[in-house]
Amino acid sequence: MMMRQGQPVIRHPRPLGWNECHRLSAAVSALGPGWSVVLHDDAPGNTTIIIQPMDPDDAASPVLFVHREAAVFHLDELCGETFRKLGEHQAWVDLVRAVRSRLLGPIPNRQTLH
């Protein structure tokens, strides 16, 4: 590919793969048992990492979907019959933080007894 001087270099990030799936699986397994992390490849270049509860009948737990469009990581959720977009992240570390936060859920308000 020949580039002319002054032309921006356009880079296309590679699709999500086994490396990202393993890294995300390690982060999720550190939260405790009960979650499955799988790489789903519909078509070449169109992959999704799916994080789901080990119990398929657990309607209260979300199924998370991680995919990449251009240089942005997307995090979506299916909980019961409700699908929603949770966020877009430029950095992998921010995506992993968002996944952890979603799977841990809200931290209960702890009252201190005196």
- Do 32 and 39 contact (CB within 8 A), yes or no? no
Tell me the pLDDT of the chain (114 aa) as tens digits: 444 555 554 455 778 889 999 999 999 998 878 899 999 987 777 899 999 988 877 777 889 999 999 889 999 999 888 899 999 999 999 999 999 999 887 555 555 555
| pTM of the predicted protein model | 0.78
Query: What per-residue confidence (pLDDT) applies to 101?
Result: 92
Domain boundaries, the chain: 18-104
Nearest to 32 by CA among 53, 60, 57, 59: 53
Q: How would you label 21-53 residue by residue, b for 16+ Cβ within 10 Å and e otherwise?
A: beebbebbeeeeeebebebeeeeeeebbbbbbb
Nearest to 68 by CA among 19, 1, 32: 19
Query: What per-residue confidence (pLDDT) applies to 34?
Result: 84
Q: What is the pLDDT of residues 76-109, one digit of tens each?
A: 999 888 899 999 999 999 999 999 999 887 555 5
